[in-house]
């Protein structure tokens, strides 16, 4: 695989010998592009997304840590900005690993590793002020011919225990939201952040016809979520150790209200399917680690 840095060192790009590519912005360790061998983009990125570090990226795969949304009733994180500070910190590129020996020529892969810790120069200053814990994050982005895997390891490096949530806020690119169906969440209890209800369920498939903001907690970790277009499966999302799946689409009004959301009808070309651990808190004592990952497979 070829791994290159942008001239301004703001991002790293990896391309497999077969042509698939991924691009990661050090700001937030945000995956901002994932293309197949034909050059077709798989992720949605707003045309008005700020890529200069001034704001969290609107699109791609922002990393949410240590709080999902805001948690006004949670002492440790109640003063943190929405979705925490991982997506607004500058991460360090730790290196790449590739598999290109003769045995793997037919299935090349490349893994990019990123790190952020409480001691890092790139840490959002808000974090130091408002979340005084010693932590270390390693985020790995692995590209294969037909999949993208992103995984995080959170370690408590200090004496004080802390609580955290993690979410991989993936903006999938679709051609037309009106022909999208989502399978794998049937009979799965969810909290609806739009209707303010809990413990709802619905049969398969789920379609998106209005603002949607839901936290599903499937009973089984091995349950995959499949996103189809016009009945043809496109993405299969599987999870390691991430018990929840957020489904989000801002629709007309919410998209209109976000300055960095362009084009305004871009919500028709996106769907967020976000694996995470957000319906409860991971409590990490000194030396404890929490590991979670998603794999998005092109089907
Ligand atoms: C989703 C949340 O994960 O992220 C939504 O469930 C939220 O409630 C959305 O609106 C986008 O958040 P932000 O901070 O990137 O605008």
User: What are the tens digits of pLDDT across the range 115-155?
Assistant: 999 999 999 999 999 999 999 999 999 999 999 999 999 99
| Token pair in block for residue 18 | 């077969």
Q: Across-strand partners of 162?
A: 284
Residue 203: count other Cβ atoms within 10 Å of its Cβ: 8
| Mean pLDDT score, 78-91 | 98
7-51 pLDDT tens trace: 899 999 999 999 999 999 999 999 999 999 999 999 999 999 999
Per the annotation, the verdict on 274 as an active-site residue is yes
User: Looking at ligand 1, which atom is closest to the CA of residue 87?
Assistant: 15
Question: Can you give the pLDDT at residue 103?
Answer: 58
**Confidence band of 101 (pLDDT split at 50, 70, 90):** low
Cα of 113 to ligand 1 centre, how many Å? 25
Give the integer Cα–Cα distance in Å for 219 and 189. 9
65 with 86: CB under 8 angstroms? yes
Q: Is 248 in the pocket of ligand 1 (CB under 6 A)?
A: yes
**Which among 69, 227, 87, 241 is positioned nearest to 149, based on CA atoms?**
241
pLDDT for position 160: 98
- What span, in angstroms and rounded, lies between the C-alpha atoms of 92 and 26? 7
The pair of structure tokens assigned to 231 is: 């009945």
Question: Does residue 193 line the site of ligand 1, with CB under 6 A?
Answer: yes
ipTM field: 0.98
For residue 117, give both structure tokens.
């810790």
Give the pLDDT score at 105: 63
Measured distance CA(29)–CA(240) in Å, rounded: 19
Q: What is the pLDDT of residue 2?
A: 93
Does residue 102 have a pLDDT over 90? no
* Ligand 1 pocket member 82 (CB < 6 A): yes
Which atom of ligand 1 is nearest to 213's Cα? 6
Q: Are 184 and 205 in contact (CB under 8 A)?
A: no
pLDDT average, residue stretch 241-245: 98
Could you tell which of 56, 217, 246, 260 is best to mutate to test the pocket of ligand 1, judged by most ligand atoms within 8 Å of the CB?
Answer: 246
Task: Provide the residue range defining the domain that includes 33.
Answer: 2-298
Q: Is the pLDDT of residue 106 over 90?
A: no
Query: What is the share, in percent, of the chain residues with pLDDT greater than 90?
Result: 96
Reported confidence tier of residue 107, pLDDT bands at 50, 70, 90 = confident
pLDDT score, position 85: 98
Is the minimum distance from the CB of 244 to ligand 1 under 6 angstroms? no
| CATH number for the domain harbouring residue 173 | 2.70.98.10
Q: Is 202 a catalytic residue?
A: no
Degrees to nearest 5, angle at CA 259 with 216 and 167 = 25
- The C-alpha atoms of residue 234 and residue 33 are separated, in whole angstroms, by 17
Give me Rg for the CA atoms of the chain: 18
Catalytic residue among 75, 274, 285, 291: 274
Residue by residue, DSSP assigns 33-91 as EEE-TT--B-B-B-TT---SSSS--SBSBPEEBS-SS--TT-TTTTTSPTTBSGGGSBP
In 3D space, the residue among 242, 220, 57, 255 whose CA is nearest the CA of residue 168 turns out to be 242
Judge if the beta carbon of residue 83 lies within 6 A of ligand 1.
yes
CA–CA dist 153, 157 (Å, integer): 12
pLDDT for position 75: 97
- pLDDT by residue (tens digit) across 148-193? 999 999 999 999 999 999 999 999 999 999 999 999 999 999 999 9
Contact 26, 92 (CB under 8 A): yes
State the catalytic residue, choosing from 15, 20, 27, 169.
169
Q: Is the CB of 20 under 6 A from ligand 1?
A: no
- The number of domains in the chain is 1
Q: What is the pLDDT of residue 99?
A: 80
The per-residue pLDDT of the chain, averaged, comes to: 96
């Amino acid at each position: 695989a070829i791994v290159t840095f942008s001239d301004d060192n703001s991002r790293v790009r990896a391309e497999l010998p077969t042509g698939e590519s991924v691009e990661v912005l050090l700001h937030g360790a945000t995956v901002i592009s994932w293309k197949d061998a034909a050059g077709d983009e798989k992720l949605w990125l707003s045309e008005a997304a700020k890529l200069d570090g001034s704001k969290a990226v609107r699109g791609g795969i922002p990393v949410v840590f240590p709080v999902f949304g805001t948690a006004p009733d949670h002492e440790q994180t109640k003063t943190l900005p929405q979705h925490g500070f991982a997506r607004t910190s500058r991460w360090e590129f730790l290196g790449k690993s590739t598999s290109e020996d003769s045995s793997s020529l037919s299935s090349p892969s490349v893994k990019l590793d990123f790190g952020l810790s409480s001691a890092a120069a790139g840490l959002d200053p808000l974090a130091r002020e408002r979340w005084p814990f010693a932590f270390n994050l390693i985020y790995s982005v692995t590209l294969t011919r037909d999949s993208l895997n992103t995984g995080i390891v959170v370690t408590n490096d200090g004496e004080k225990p802390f609580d955290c949530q993690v979410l991989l806020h993936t903006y999938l690119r679709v051609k037309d939201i009106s022909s999208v169906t989502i399978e794998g969440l049937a009979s799965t209890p969810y909290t609806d952040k739009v209707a303010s209800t809990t413990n709802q369920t619905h049969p398969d498939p789920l379609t998106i016809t209005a603002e949607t903001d839901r936290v599903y907690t499937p009973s089984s970790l091995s349950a995959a979520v499949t996103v189809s277009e016009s009945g043809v499966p496109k993405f299969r999302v599987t999870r390691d150790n991430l018990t929840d799946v957020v489904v989000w689409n801002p629709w007309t009004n919410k998209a209109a209200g976000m300055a960095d959301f362009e084009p305004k009808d871009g919500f028709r070309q996106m769907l967020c399917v976000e694996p995470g651990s957000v319906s409860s808190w991971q409590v990490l004592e000194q030396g404890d680690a929490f590991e979670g990952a998603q794999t998005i497979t092109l089907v």
